[in-house]
Amino acid sequence: MSFGFAQNETFNLTMSKNQLLEFYDELDDSVLEETPASQKQVFQKRESKKQVADAKLFVRAQEISREFKFTYKAARFEEAWLLDSLVQIAEHQWISDVLRKVKGGKEASVYLCTPGAAAAARSFLLAAKVYRPRMLRNLKNDSQYRAGREDLDESGNVIIDDGTLHAMKKRTAFGEEVRHQSWIAYEFTTLETLHAAGADVPKPYVMEKNAILMEYIGDKSTPASILNAVNLDPDEAQPLFERVVCNIDLMLTHDRIHGDLSAYNILYWNGNITLIDFPQVVIPSSNPASWNIFLRDLTRICQYFSAQGVTCDARAIAVDLWTSHGHKIVQEVHPKYLDPEKVEDRQVWKEVTRKK
Ligand SMILES: Nc1ncnc2c1ncn2[C@@H]1O[C@H](COP(=O)(O)OP(=O)(O)OP(=O)(O)O)[C@@H](O)[C@H]1O
Ligand SMILES: [Mg+2]
C-alpha cells in the first residue's frame, strides 16, 4: 500500500475496504495491547463503526490527494490522518503546500506550510497544528481544565443542543468526538481573542475539523526555539520576563488562564516571545481550581526566569495579578493539579512542600 503525498507517488485507489480495515486494525492493535480482555470487546465493538466511517474518509482523502501533492513525505501512519486532517484546509486554499514537520508532540504535530490563495498574508509562512486522531490520543484527565467551560462546536460556538450535550455526558463515541473538537475549538478561539487583544500569540487563520492554521514563528529553514532551550542574554531576561507577565495579565483581563504555561510553551525568535498551546485554557471566573492552576503557571515561569538571573517571587506576582482582577485566593497548589511525569511540576511540588 502506498499513502504518499509525493509528486511521483500515487495512492493505490484499488485498495479494498478489507485492506483499509486491516490498516485500522493495525492502528488499533497498538492501542489495545495493554487493555484487559473484557474491555477489549466493548472497545472493539464501539470502534468498528468508526473504522468503517474512517475507511470511507480515507478513500476520499486519497482521491483529494491527486489534486494536492505536498512536498512533505510523512511516515505511513502519520500520512493517513495528516491528509484527512488537512484536506479541507488545502481544498479551501488556505495552504498550497506542506513543507515539513516542525515538531511531533503527544497531542498534536505542527507542520510548516506555504499559504494558498485564501490566506491574506501570502508572504508569511503558516503553521498547521494537527491533532492526533481521538482514538490514538492520550485523552488525559482534562476535567480540571474543562470545569466551568461551556463546550464549543467546530465553528467555535457554544453547544446548546440537548442531544449533543447528552451524548457528551454519556461519553458515547459521538460525544467523545465532540469533546475532542471542543478542546481544539478552545485553542482556536483563545488565539482569536488574545491576538485581537494584542497578546504575543500567533495570528490564527482558520480551524477546520482536526487542525488549526496559524502564523508560523521562524523562517523557512529554522523554526523558533522553545524558550526553555534558550539561554537569554542578561539584558534581555528582565524585559522578556515582564513581557510574559504582561501577557498573563492580558489573559486575565479576557478571563483566561493559559493552564499549561511554562518555558516549554513559549517560543523565542529574534529576541521576541510568543505564547502557544492553548487547548486547556481555563476560565478563572468559573473554574474552582483556577487559583491553583494560575499559581502553577506563574511558578513554572519564575523557575525559568530565575535560572536566567531574574529576581522574581512567583507567589507575590500571582497574588498581585489575581487580586487586581478581583479574584479571591482559595487554596494552595494541590498535588492533583501537578503531573508527576513533568520535571517542572516535580520542582513546583518541591517548592510548595519546602515552604510548608
Ligand atoms: N506557530 C508556531 N510556529 C512555529 N512553531 C510552532 C508553532 N506552534 C507550535 N510550534 C512548535 O510545535 C511544538 C508543539 O506545539 P504545541 O506546544 O502547541 O503542541 P503540543 O501538543 O503541546 O506539543 P507538545 O506535547 O510537544 O508540547 C512547539 O513546541 C513548537 O516547537
Ligand atoms: Mg506544548
Residue 266 has what pLDDT?
98
For residue 290, what is the domain's CATH number? 1.10.510.10
For residues 71 and 168, state if they share a domain. Answer: yes
Amino acid at 292: N
Q: How far is the CA of 323 from the centre of ligand 1 (A)?
A: 31
Per the structure block, which three cell numbers stand in for 62? 486519497
The answer to whether the CB of 180 falls within 8 A of the CB of 134 is yes
CB of residue 263 inside a 6 A radius of ligand 1: no
In a domain, 11, yes or no: no
**pLDDT 10s digits, 149-183:** 888 988 888 888 888 888 888 888 888 888 888 88
Ligand nearest to the CA of 126: 1
CB of residue 342 inside a 6 A radius of ligand 1: no
For residues 80 and 193, state if they share a domain. Answer: yes
CB of residue 103 inside a 6 A radius of ligand 1: yes
Looking at 215, 242, 272, the residue that finishes a domain is 215
Q: Is the pLDDT of residue 8 over 50?
A: no
Stated length of the chain: 356
Ranges 285-299, 300-314, 321-335, 338-352, most confident: 300-314
For residues 69 and 296, the model is more confident at: 296
**pLDDT 10s digits, 190-204:** 999 999 999 999 999
For residues 147 and 280, state if they share a domain. Answer: no
**pLDDT 10s digits, 218-263:** 999 999 999 999 999 989 999 999 999 999 999 999 999 999 999 9
For residues 115 and 193, state if they share a domain. Answer: yes
Q: How confident is the model at residue 107 (pLDDT cuts 50, 70, 90)?
A: confident
Work out the average pLDDT over 285-290: 86
For residues 286 and 230, state if they share a domain. Answer: yes
Residue 28 has what pLDDT?
44
| Probe residue for ligand 1, chosen from 99, 100, 102 as the CB with the greatest number of ligand atoms within 8 Å | 102
The residue among 306, 311, 297, 231 whose CA lies nearest residue 265 is 297
Work out the average pLDDT over 44-70: 70
For residues 233 and 210, state if they share a domain. Answer: no
Q: How far is the CA of 276 from the centre of ligand 1 (A)?
A: 7
In a domain, 312, yes or no: yes
For residues 140 and 262, state if they share a domain. Answer: no
Domain extent for 65: 17-215
The total of other beta-carbon atoms located within 10 Å of residue 144's CB is 18
Looking at 215, 250, 269, the residue that finishes a domain is 215
For residues 142 and 275, the model is more confident at: 275
Q: How far is the CA of 267 from the centre of ligand 2 (A)?
A: 10
In a domain, 1, yes or no: no
The DSSP letter of residue 129 is E
Bridge pairing between strands 126-131 and 211-215: antiparallel
Q: How far is the CA of 267 from the centre of ligand 1 (A)?
A: 9
In a domain, 80, yes or no: yes
CB of residue 107 inside a 6 A radius of ligand 1: yes
Spell out the alpha helix ranges (H) of the chain.
17-32, 37-65, 76-91, 143-146, 162-170, 173-196, 234-253, 290-307, 314-324, 343-355
Ligand nearest to the CA of 188: 1
In a domain, 343, yes or no: yes
For residues 25 and 258, the model is more confident at: 258
From CA 208, how far away is CA 214, in angstroms rounded?
12
For residues 89 and 190, state if they share a domain. Answer: yes
The answer to whether the CB of 172 falls within 8 A of the CB of 42 is no
In a domain, 331, yes or no: yes
Residue 76 has what pLDDT?
66
For residues 156 and 269, state if they share a domain. Answer: no
The tally of domains found in the chain comes to 2
Q: For a pLDDT cut of 90, what percent of the chain falls above it? A: 46
Looking at 155, 189, 215, the residue that finishes a domain is 215
For residues 120 and 152, state if they share a domain. Answer: yes
In a domain, 5, yes or no: no
Grid cell 523562517 in the structure block, residue: 219
Q: Is the pLDDT of residue 32 over 50?
A: no
From CA 169, how far away is CA 53, in angstroms rounded?
23
For residue 97, what is the domain's CATH number? 3.30.200.20
CB of residue 191 inside a 6 A radius of ligand 1: no
Residue nearest to atom 18 of ligand 1 (CA): 277
In a domain, 198, yes or no: yes
For residues 316 and 248, state if they share a domain. Answer: yes
For residues 210 and 229, state if they share a domain. Answer: no
